[in-house]
Chain A
């Protein structure tokens, strides 16, 4: 049972445009959400997080939006840069329990 879903395996975006990565979840108990980025041959690195008490969190070019009623999480990257090309994983957790990861979306930024 995949409680965290990333329905788009891949996404291509022109450099300078906005990249929007989406994530849906089924467990309404999730109260903390994170995004990780992974380059080939490297481990995932933390990008940004959001608590369920918020609906938006911003860090530079990265903004995460949380829509609890729709059980939907999105990551916006503006403007997109070639170095943003990577696999992005969303993850969620209930309280202090383990992280549940999505299957990942491969983002390719086209110069």
Chain B
């Protein structure tokens, strides 16, 4: 069974640009969550999608948005990039929607975004 796939693995952008990251969950998983990992901040929750609906949202500005498609694949978009957006963006999928925390999340290897 294939794991969570994130593309691209690496991305370099300049300030002011926008970026779209992609995540394909494990087959059969319907919940997809996104996290930002930066040194000293750990993993910060961005948002979670289930059945194409956003169910939970973290404390990030509106420049960060996402969506989920009918095949459970998800995309995350960041507009008007800032230097501080440089981070590793991780996607995680889980089997069930209810009890987010109590369902094991399976992570992809992440997309490393560098903003110059």
Is there contact, CB below 8 Å, between B110 and A46?
no
For chain A, the count of residues having a C-beta within 8 Å of the partner chain is 26
Chain B residues closer than 8 Å to A45, beta-carbon distance: 106-107
Nearest Cβ on chain A to B21's Cβ, whole angstroms: 14
Chain A residues closer than 8 Å to B56, beta-carbon distance: 97-98
Nearest Cβ on chain A to B109's Cβ, whole angstroms: 5
Q: Which of A42, A98, A100 contacts B48 (CB 8 A)?
A: A98
Chain A residues closer than 8 Å to B106, beta-carbon distance: 43, 45-46
In whole angstroms, what is the CA distance A99 to B105 when docked? 10
Q: Which of B42, B99, B108 contacts A43 (CB 8 A)?
A: B108
In the A-B complex, the 9 residue pairs with the closest CB atoms:
A43-B107, A93-B101, A103-B42, A101-B43, A98-B45, A101-B42, A46-B104, A98-B56, A32-B101
| 26 residue pairs bridging A and B, Cβ less than 8 Å apart | A4-B42, A32-B102, A36-B107, A43-B90, A43-B92, A43-B108, A43-B110, A45-B107, A46-B105, A46-B106, A49-B102, A91-B43, A91-B101, A93-B100, A96-B98, A96-B99, A98-B45, A98-B100, A98-B101, A101-B35, A101-B42, A101-B43, A101-B44, A103-B40, A103-B41, A104-B42
